[in-house]
Chain A
Amino acid sequence: MKKILKQFSDAVVKQNPILIQLLGMCSVLAISTTAMNAIGMGAAVTVVLIFSNVLISMLRKLIPNEIRIAAFIVIISGFVTAVQLIIKAFLPSLDKSLGVFIPLIVVNCIILARAEAFASKNRVLPSALDGLFMGIGYTVALLILSIVREFVGYGSFFGVKLFGNKFVGVGMLVSPPGAFILLGILIAAVNFVLVKSKQKKKSKAKEAEMPAETEKEVVTND
C-alpha cells in the first residue's frame, strides 16, 4: 500500500508529465481553453495510457528489442482509434472541440515514454497503476491550466458564466500566445514552490546537524 502511495505521489507531483517532465505539450497548449475540454482530453489520454501500458507489459517478453518502438506505436494507435470512435459516437460535441488532437494522442510523448520507461520493464499490475497515475498527473496539470485560462479568458468556470454576459475576458489568454505564456508561468510557479520546499528541508537538516556552520556559510555567500 505504501509503495502504491509513493508511486502515486511520484507520478502526480514529483514526476508530473507536464509540469516536471515537460512532455506532451502540443495537446496541453492547444486544448486547454476550457475546463470541459481538459477533462475530456485527460480522460482520453488516461484510458489510452492504462490500456497500452497493460498490453505492452503483457507482451514485453514477446516483442523483439529491435522493433519495440514500432510495435509500441502500433499498439498505442489501436487504442487511440478505439477511444476516437467511442468519443465520436457518444460525445460528438467533445469530438468537435478536441478535433485532430484526439488522433494525435498516438504521438503524444507521454504514452510512448511510459511504454518505454515503465511498461516494457514491469509486470502488468504496476504498469496499469503507472498508466492510471500518470494519466491523473496529466489531467490535473491540464485542468489547472485550463481553469485559469477559462476563468480569465471567458469569465466562466466549467462553462458557467460567473460575471454575467457583459463580461469581456482577456482574449489574449485563450489565444495561442497566452497558452505559451501561461504554461510557462504555471510551471515556473511549481518550480518555485518545489525548490523552496527542498531548501527548507535542507536547511532544517543542516540546522539540526551543525547550527553554527550554517551561519558562517551565509556570511561568506554574501
Chain B
Amino acid sequence: MTKILLLMLGAILVENFIFSRFMGICPFMGVSEKPDTAIGMGFAVMFVMTLSSAATSLVYDYLLVRYELEFLSTIVFIVIIASLVQFIEMFLKKLVPSLYSALGIYLPLITTNCAVLGAALLNVEEGRGFVESVVFGFAAAVGFTLALVIFAGVRARMKHTNTPKSFQGSLIALIAAGLIAMAFAGFSGISL
C-alpha cells in the first residue's frame, strides 16, 4: 500500500509530467489560456490515460511478451491509444451525452498528447505490473491536470500585465512555466 502511495506522490509532484519530464507540453501551452478549458482537458486526459495505461499494460504482458514482439510496442501502443480515444468518444456520445459535451472537443487532441504514450512506454521500461501501471497512469494524469490548472490561473493574471513586445503571447508563458517548474523542483528533495 505504501508503495502505491509513494508511486502516486512521485508521479504527481516529484516527477511531474510537465515540469520535470517534459511530456504533454503542446496541450499544456495550447489549452491553458482559460481555467475552464484547462479543467476540461485535465479530466479528459485523466480518463484516457488511466484506461490507456490499463489497456497497454495488458496487451504488453499478455500479447507482446508472449509472442516476443516487444520491439513493436511503439506501433501497437499508439494504435491502441488512437482507437481507445475514438471508442471513448463514441461511447460517451451515445451513453453519457452530458460528459461528452464537456470533454468532447478535447478528446481528439489527446491522441497526439505525448504524455499518454509516454506513460505507457515508461510503464514498460520500469517493468510495472498491471495495478502499478494503472495507478501510475492515473497519478501522472493528476499531475498533468494540477500543472495545467495552476498554469491557467497564472496565465489569466498575465493577460493584464505589460510584457515586452517580443515576449508577448506564449513566450512569457514559457518563462512563467520555468518559474513554476522551479517551484516544483523543490519537491525533488523528497527521496522516495
CB within 8 Å of B: which residues of A? 22-27, 29-30, 69-70, 73-74, 77-78, 80-81, 84-85, 99-100, 103-104, 106-109, 112, 172, 175-181, 183-185, 187-189, 191-192, 195
In the assembled complex, the Cα of A27 lies from the Cα of B114 at a distance in Å of: 10
- In angstroms, Cα B181 to Cα A184, docked, is 14
**Shortest Cβ distance from residue B184 to the other chain A in the assembled complex, whole angstroms:** 8
CB distance from A63 to the nearest CB of B (A): 15
Instruction: Tell me the smallest distance from the CB of B16 to a CB of chain A, in Å.
Output: 9
Closest CB-CB distance, A199 to chain B, in whole Å?
11
Is the Cβ of B171 less than 8 Å from the Cβ of A191?
Answer: yes
Q: Mark B158-171, 1 if CB is under 8 A from A, else 0.
A: 00000011110011
A73 with B74: CB separation less than 8 A: no
Residue in A closest to B174 when the chains form the complex, CB atoms: A184
Residues of chain B lying within 8 A (CB to CB) of residue A179: 22, 178
| B185–A175 CB distance below 8 A | yes
Q: Which of B1-9, B24-32, B40-48, B54-62 lies on the face that meets chain A?
A: B24-32
Set of chain A residues within 8 Å of B175, measured between Cβ atoms: 180-181, 184-185
Contact B185 A106 (CB under 8 A): no
**Inter-chain contacts of A172 with B (CB < 8 A):** 182
Which B residues lie at the A interface, using CB under 8 A? Answer: 19-26, 29, 71-75, 78-79, 82, 111-114, 117-118, 121-122, 125, 164-167, 170-175, 177-179, 181-182, 184-185
Contacting pair B74 A183 (CB below 8 A): no
Cα distance A112–B178 when bound, in Å? 27
A181 partner residues in chain B, CB cutoff 8 A: 174-175, 178-179
Decide if B178 touches A184 in the complex (CB within 8 Å): yes
Interface of B is mostly: helix
**19 A-B pairs in the complex with CB atoms less than 8 angstroms apart:** A25-B26, A25-B29, A26-B23, A27-B22, A73-B79, A74-B75, A100-B121, A103-B74, A103-B117, A104-B23, A108-B114, A176-B19, A177-B185, A180-B177, A181-B175, A189-B166, A191-B171, A195-B165, A195-B166
In the complex, what residues of A have CB within 8 A of residue B164's CB? 188
| Contact of A100 with B122 in the complex, beta carbons under 8 Å | yes
| Main SS at interface, chain A | helix
Looking at the complex, which one of B111, B117, B185 makes contact with A104 (CB distance below 8 Å)?
A: B117
Residue among B22, B73, B181 making CB contact with A26, cutoff 8 Å: B22
A84 and B74 contact, Cβ closer than 8 Å, known pairs A177-B178, A184-B172: yes
Q: A85-B71, A100-B121, A100-B122 are in contact. Are A23 and B26 (CB under 8 A)?
A: yes
Q: Which of A29, A99, A180, A189 has the most CB of B within 10 A?
A: A180
**Inter-chain pairs besides A77-B75, A99-B125, A107-B113, 11 sampled, C-beta below 8 Å:** A23-B26, A26-B24, A26-B114, A81-B72, A81-B74, A109-B112, A176-B181, A178-B178, A184-B175, A187-B174, A191-B167
In the bound complex, residues from chain A placing their C-beta under 8 Å from that of B171 are 184, 187-188, 191
5 interchain residue pairs of minimum CB distance: A180-B178, A184-B174, A181-B178, A30-B22, A192-B166
